[in-house]
Copies of this chain bind each other. A is one copy, B any other.
Amino acid sequence: MPDKRPIDVLDKSKGKRILVRLKNGNRINGVLEALDMHLNLWLSNAELTDEEGVKRIGDVLIRGDTVVFASPEENVSK
């Protein structure tokens, strides 16, 4: 059995909501549709939280190099 890889924690979240924190301070949550090894992310039904508040943005492609961390939503305390 191969070693676990860090990205496996997101692979198992496909079709579920994840939370993403970006380097510019923005936060995006949405349903994980696709990801790659650079951590480029495609989220659907996404919501953006920035300095202006919360906004629905639907589908979004997040560039991997702008990601700080990403978490499956289910275990995050409110």
Contact = CB atoms under 8 A, between A and B. Distances in A.
A69 B8 contact: no
Interface string A59-78: 11111111111111011110
Contacts of A41: 6
Contacts of A61: 6-7, 9-10, 39, 69-71
Interface of A: 3-10, 19, 21-26, 28, 33-36, 39-42, 46, 48, 55-72, 74-77
Given A26-B69, A48-B69, 11 more contacts: A5-B36, A8-B42, A24-B25, A57-B69, A58-B71, A60-B69, A60-B71, A61-B69, A61-B70, A62-B69, A63-B69
